[in-house]
A and B are shown apart, each in its own frame.
Chain A
Amino acid sequence: MKNLSIAMKMLRRNAQAGEAKVLAAALFVAVASVTTVGFFADRVRGALDRQANELLGGDLVVIADHPVPRPFVERAGSDGLDVAATTTFPSMVSGQAGVSLSEIKAVSRSFPLRGRIRVADAPAAPDREAEGSPRPGTVWVGVPLVSRIGAAVGESIRVGNATLTVGAIITREPDSVLDFFGIAPRVLMNEADLAATGLVQVGSRVTYRLLVAGDARAVARYDARVRPRLERGERIEGVRDARSEVRVSLERAQRFLGLASLLSVVLASVAVALAARRFSIRQTDSAAMMRCLGAAQADIFAINAWQFLALAAAGCAAGTLAGFGAQAMLAHWLSAFFTVALPAPGWRPAVQGAVIGMVLVLGFTIPPLLRLRNVPTLRVLRSDIAVAEPSSLVAYALGLGALSALIVWQAGDAKLGGIALGGFAIALGVAAVAGYGLIRALSRLRAGASGPWRYGLANLRRRTGSSLVQVMALGVGIMAMLLLTLVRTDLIVKWQKSMPADMPNRFAINVQTDQLPLVKDYFAGLGLATPDLYPMVRGRLVAIGERAVSPADFEDQRARRLVEREFNLSWAQELRPDNRIVAGAWWKPGASEAQLSVEEGIAKTLSIGVGDTLTWDVGGTRFGAKVTSLRKVEWDSFKANFFVIASPGVLESHPASWITSFHLPAGREEVVNRLVERFPNVSVIDLTAIMGQVKRISDQVSRAVEFVFLFAIAAGLVVLFAAITSTQDERVFEGAVMRTLGASRRQIVLTQLSEFLAIGLLAGLVAAAGAVGLAMVLSERVLGVPYEFDWVVPVAGLLAGGAGVAIAGLLGTRKVVDSPPLAAIRAVT
């Protein structure tokens, strides 16, 4: 307690010193960054948890790609559970103003069992909780359909062969939290009208759900009985294991944001270490004096540790408050994804922020504090006696270890954590090597530079370590921003430009075999190119060679999902130009053997090789065929492509639907409207709308990530100030000596400016080189677009770095210019 009170007294005096401010600022930025994401994630989690059973629409759901077997329904009834059934599939709907793809959901009278649907009479009108679900003969529609097809309340719309009246506009549905694809808005109808639409046919992609709800024990009993009897294409989802794809993808997004927020923590740790070291150096003499006056080593440690803890507490508290405020911005930008209101965040992120703050303080201030503990008492007599410096790498191992653990914890699993850790290490390492080389190269130039510039560059070299830390921290921060702003938009624009003008922009699916000649005639009659139609048969992979296939066999999530679902199989005589054989050979015309060609990516995921025999189940019939080739597919040709293609004669006997893609010139929407009128079972997917949607999502997500990376820039600036603070005395001294030797204010400012400008330009250069390098890899490897160098990126990086650091640096060193020379020299010596 005695130590605490001394510590508080000393802190009041030390609080004005630069390093105390830097320490608090570093913790503020780190904690604000982490808690912003933390609070936001907590709100999303809260929404998901609170509505877990609303998400399902019941307490337990049986999901199947065929009608749910009767025994499951009867069992629920005999267990005393409430049941509801839904049938969902995509289809075109048309109204007086146009046609649109929509997601049809036909529901039984009792739907929903949990949660309520909210409806309104018009898109902007106040909404209310609906009673039950639509009556027969009526539909409730999603907001976008009102303007898109003229589906206002009271109007009629056509769903397949049925004409139904719009009864209400849906503003919120219980079993959808995310609204990723507003392009396929909801049409909710009564299951009694389903047969009249004629839409559920062979080959249609229909999902059947049986919802059950009731007493928890009865639900558990039902679960226990039904689960072991599930067949292929059937699965069960409960509230507890409702780790739906929505949840998984949201968690992944949050992890990513969380990792992005840790970049600022990593940078802040540098500032904390710099500030703590400086603090320790400044306290050296008073520590020696206190030792002389009888303070034990433990007292010295405690007095200084208390000061750090108090500063840390202040920084963490302010950071948490700022994070609480800033999460509202994230929620605002990302709100378009959520159809539900996000609840207020809980207190857990604040604890997380405090933990991170303490990790930073303990990890990076203990080594310099331990140094103070060992100050020799003799220093009061001879100030040139050195204090034993702990080996910095060993001393900071604690902090680095804690930081690594933090990253792995945030990433959620060791592999992703390792990748993130490696990513941070590589980014910082490359920046360090590049920065070091550049500082050395630049300081060579000083002989050729004149006056103040020479002295600025000389200082850059003398403070190589400190200059390097600044170049690294700022370079990484600026690079993150360059990538997210300039490079991202640039790449998207180039990618879109690289697509041919007549690239397909519409997919038509679900064309029946008997409609083939009619559909071709329809296009020919309008003077449009006859699109290529490809057959599609849905089949399940049963075995690879002798080995039966089950989702549980695969570690990989994607492989599991692929095996769980049905594949779209196709057949073809010729190899298409956008496909290329990478292993084996395409079949010869007239070959009688049943052969398959598999896309290379999926072959790798499922470990399928040339020569394997794959066994398929199509509508209850099994057949085997040998893989004779692997193909590479150009997916971005936007044509219908298939993972698995069979040789002629293998699939023709099975029921098939046909798919095509075509280019619809702008302003000819009537082509689609009349196609759907004539063939109500055909669904047309508008790719332009999907691409627009994807762009909208990517814009929103990257704005959120940009926002998080702003904290990284702030942390970089704190590192800059930490470095300035740690060299403040030197700078004041140099300024005073130069003043004595006749330097004008302008010359002193120029000397400082040249050093900061050099640091800023180097940081900008490191950032620009990193951003250009990554853009090149992304462009050529991921998007397949030849990379074109764009001057804007390096220029923006250099400007941001140079101007930013120069301004911040000059602000941080005003004291150098403003101090009278004698006072400054005396203060230092």
Chain B
Amino acid sequence: MNAIIEEERRLAAAAAAGQPVIVRAEGLTKQVSTPDHDLVIVRQASFQVAAGESVAIVGASGSGKSTLLGLLAGLDVPSAGRVWIDGEDLFAKDEDGRARLRGRLVGFVFQSFQLLPALTAVENVMLPLELAGARDAAARAARVLGQVGLGERLGHYPRQLSGGEQQRVAVARAFATEPKLLFADEPTGNLDSATGAQMIELLFSMNREHGTTLVLVTHDEALADRCDRRIAIAGGVVSA
């Protein structure tokens, strides 16, 4: 098993070496003001992620992992520093520009799934496709749900699905637009270990099939081990 993983990693690293950079962070800093003092959550983070690579952001609770991920996806605004996604300067754009870029290039999987409860499984997956103006949204959403093994549950509402099924819908939603880049925040955090393992398989098989770059935040050693590379963060300081 380990040998296979090692082999995969070696191959991926070799591939990445020749690949263009898809995420580049430079001097990324996030600082919040509290009444007593200023708190630096992320300090001067600079690193690169190559296309097709899988990267785990690891660190203790409160180390700033999720904040860093949010900044990379443009869900939050940094106090200083810049991020380029596929060569585009993320924070040179306004909120709408960042949303459009995400719609085009980025998928996102949350720890607590974040499906819209008013929509059925297929409608949840259709959402990013429709937002991007895709014509065959329904068919594509159904196909992706089939790929994650939920082809029979298209019309179910999130409350009618188990936690693992909900997370699979979330993964299908993230991959539906065939993004170049997938961010995942603790994707196995709310799942039991067996379901979590299935989820990891799913993420990496999607990564292989679509050539998607994976950037994920995790506590899960098994998951971190499957990634090509780790970015450790401690006290807001990144060591890539």
Contact = CB atoms under 8 A, between A and B. Distances in A.
Interface in A790-829: 820-823, 825, 829
A744 B130 CA distance: 12
Interface stretch (B114-122, B205-213, B220-228): B114-122
Nearest to A741: B128
B240 interface: no
Contacts of A158: none
Nearest to B112: A829
A730 B127 CA distance: 17
A737 B114 contact: yes
B131 A742 contact: yes
A821 B76 CA distance: 7
Interface string B105-118: 01010101010111
Smallest CB-CB A-B distances: 9 pairs: A742-B103, A462-B118, A822-B75, A741-B128, A822-B70, A822-B76, A458-B118, A742-B102, A821-B75
B76 A455 contact: no
A509 B103 CA distance: 86
Nearest to B108: A740
A463 B112 CA distance: 22
Given A454-B130, A458-B118, A458-B123, A744 B96 contact: yes
B21 interface: no
A371 interface: no
Given A739-B99, A742-B100, A462 B117 contact: yes
Interface in B122-175: 123, 127-128, 130-132, 173
A451 B130 CA distance: 6
A40 B100 CA distance: 59
A455 B75 contact: no
Contacts of A21: none
A741 B116 CA distance: 12
Contacts of B108: 740-741
A730 B117 CA distance: 9
A744 B95 CA distance: 8
A745 B127 contact: no
Nearest to B173: A741
Interface string A720-735: 0000000000100110
Contact of B103 (A451, A458, A743, A820): A743
Residue of B75, B110, B128 with most partner-chain A CB within 10 A: B75
B77 interface: yes
Contacts of B182: none
A57 to B, nearest CB: 71
A185 B177 CA distance: 83
B95 A455 contact: no
A425 B36 CA distance: 57
Contact of B116 (A734, A739, A745, A829): A734
B103 A741 contact: yes
Interface of B: 70, 73, 75-77, 95-96, 99-104, 106, 108, 110, 112, 114, 116-119, 123, 127-128, 130-132, 173, 177
Interface of A: 450-451, 454-455, 458-459, 461-463, 730, 733-734, 737-747, 820-823, 825, 829
B76 A737 contact: no
Contact of A742 (B110, B112, B114, B132): B132
Contacts of B119: 455, 458
A738 B102 contact: no
15 contacts: A454-B123, A455-B118, A455-B127, A733-B114, A738-B127, A739-B95, A740-B102, A742-B99, A742-B101, A742-B103, A745-B95, A745-B99, A820-B77, A821-B76, A825-B110
Residue of B73, B127, B128, B132 with most partner-chain A CB within 10 A: B127
Contact of A744 (B77, B100, B106, B118): B100
A821 B69 CA distance: 13
A747 B127 CA distance: 11
B105 to A, nearest CB: 9
Contacts of B131: 451, 738, 741-744, 747
A746 B102 CA distance: 16
Nearest to B67: A822
Nearest to B118: A462
Contacts of A742: 99-104, 106, 128, 131-132, 177
Given A741-B131, A825-B114, A829-B112, 12 more contacts: A455-B118, A462-B118, A739-B75, A740-B73, A740-B75, A741-B102, A741-B127, A742-B104, A742-B131, A745-B95, A820-B75, A821-B76
Contacts of A739: 75, 95, 99
Contacts of B128: 741-742
Contacts of A740: 73, 75, 102, 108, 114
Contacts of B116: 455, 734, 737-738
Nearest to B116: A734
A454 to B, nearest CB: 7
Contacts of B112: 829
Nearest to A739: B99
A822 B74 CA distance: 9
Contacts of A737: 114, 116
